[in-house]
Amino acid sequence: MNKRSTYLMLSMAVLVSLVLTACGGGAAAPATGGTIKVVSDLPMTGSSLGQTQTIVNGITQAFEATGNKVCGGKWQIQFEAHDDASAALGKWDPDVVTANAKQYAADSSIVAVIGTFNSGAAKLMIPILNPENLAMISPANTYPGLTKPGKGEADEPGKYFPNGTPNYARVVPADDLQGAVGANWAKDLGATSVYILDDQELYGKGLADVFDASANEIGLTVLGHEGIDGKAADYKALATKVNELNPDLIYFGGITQNNAGQLWKDIRNVGYAGLLMGPDGIYEGAFLEAAGDAAEGTYLTFGGVPPSELQGAAATWRDSYKAKFGSDPEVYTVYGYVAGTLLVDALERVCTAGGSPTDRKTVRDAVFATKDFDSVLGKFSIDANGDTTITTMSGSVVENGEFVFSSLLGGG
């Protein structure tokens, strides 16, 4: 298997480097070279796997571009993909996330964590890694409260950082932008009344709340805002209720794994003929499969640009990804790649400054010091909160069972 051969390669590399150091006199100080470990923490059991496997591929690709080495070949990057989901839940599992976080905190050879995928998981992991100054870079979390003061609960994001210094950065734009962009798009599509549903999770409800507030602001009538049980067998009763109110558009803040497909089917089956809109949480192949015909015509917002619409350097990356892994990247894949390259860049800067890439604190500071980093998505910086400065969003629509790019939305 792929993983095994990677291990084999890594262990051989370690062996060779040991022999080399031995030949070189054996007096090597720990700061001049060795192995540093980077882990990814994503849900890889359950239907998210379709998406997360490609993110892991993207990260691997970023590291392999430098031969898994940084600082002029002195330091070897050892990358491990960890799973934070359980079969029992079929999606991210709080118990697994906490156990993983404790393991990363305790393993001093780990210098950075790329993850998590779900905002709810990040909420649990950040406070465990923060006291250890362990840098965390998320390729997918979009809940605003994780980084932005005043955009989430009153005590957010301060409560995630017990030692006072943020250790969490992300390379995707947050949902305070996505929710608002969605509401504006709904208005542009001609809707005057909306009904809002959410899956009662941090990500979904956060998004729906922003959509709700923005919709009120721009003069859309919000007919109601309800939460669904993501595990229920069907939503006929709820769909009947919503259909009677006859909104122009129904917005769902949530993820595929909380039964978006069934919700779509039931809404269409009770005879609702209006517009349906969702966020990037259902912007994946698994949703199309689960919702079937009911997905047709669904509008989707996404805090980035879909793989098919990537331009310039990003398009070159997409083609190289396809050539290497034999399949198209999913929507978050490029962020996995960007997170990987950002980390490599930060480690290089640590070395250039004479620091040691094994020192967690130095690495964390280097990640936060990222300025005008030249990524495949264009130049961006990590601001003091840990957010990317990129704010481009896009809208897509489902046509004939496929996502079709519709328009760029929001800030440039």
For the segment 289-318, give every residue that binds another protein (CB under 8 A). Answer: 289-290, 292
The smaller minimum CB distance to another protein, of residues 110 and 210, is found at: 210
How many Å apart are CA 33 and CA 73, to the nearest integer? 8
**Does the protein bind another protein through residue 226 (CB under 8 A)?**
yes
How many Å apart are CA 94 and CA 128, to the nearest integer? 13
Shortest reach from residue 129's CB to another protein, in Å: 28
Binding mask 25-64 for another protein (x = CB under 8 A): --------------------xxxxxx--------------
Query: Which residues are registered as beta bridge partners of 404?
Result: 397
Shortest reach from residue 201's CB to another protein, in Å: 12
Shortest reach from residue 193's CB to another protein, in Å: 18
The smaller minimum CB distance to another protein, of residues 170 and 268, is found at: 268
**Tokens (6 digits) for 340:** 């990987």
**Tokens (6 digits) for 135:** 């840098």
**Tokens (6 digits) for 113:** 């964590």
For the segment 256-275, give every residue that binds another protein (CB under 8 A). Answer: 256, 259, 261-262, 265-266, 269-271
| DSSP-assigned letter for residue 150 | T
For the segment 162-221, give every residue that binds another protein (CB under 8 A). Answer: 200
Beta strand 249-253 with 275-278: parallel, antiparallel or unpaired? Answer: parallel
Binding mask 337-366 for another protein (x = CB under 8 A): ------------------------------
How many Å apart are CA 34 and CA 20, to the nearest integer? 11
Shortest reach from residue 144's CB to another protein, in Å: 21
**Could you tell me which of 216, 142, 209, 206 has the C-alpha nearest to residue 186?**
216
**Tokens (6 digits) for 122:** 């990040």
How many Å apart are CA 127 and CA 207, to the nearest integer? 22
How many Å apart are CA 306 and CA 320, to the nearest integer? 16
Choosing from 21, 74, 90, 392, the residue that interacts with another protein (CB under 8 A) is: 90
The smaller minimum CB distance to another protein, of residues 156 and 198, is found at: 198
Judged by CB under 8 A, the number of residues near another protein is 40
Binding mask 230-249 for another protein (x = CB under 8 A): -xxxxxxxx-xx--x-----
Written as one letter, the residue type at 46 is G
Query: Which residues are registered as beta bridge partners of 194?
Result: 222, 249
**Could you tell me which of 172, 353, 37, 79 has the C-alpha nearest to residue 345?**
353
Shortest reach from residue 199's CB to another protein, in Å: 11
**Could you tell me which of 169, 108, 95, 152 has the C-alpha nearest to residue 366?**
169
Shortest reach from residue 83's CB to another protein, in Å: 12
Shortest reach from residue 97's CB to another protein, in Å: 18
Residues lying near another protein in the complex (CB under 8 A) are found at 45-50, 87-90, 200, 226-229, 231-238, 240-241, 244, 256, 259, 261-262, 265-266, 269-271, 285-286, 289-290, 292
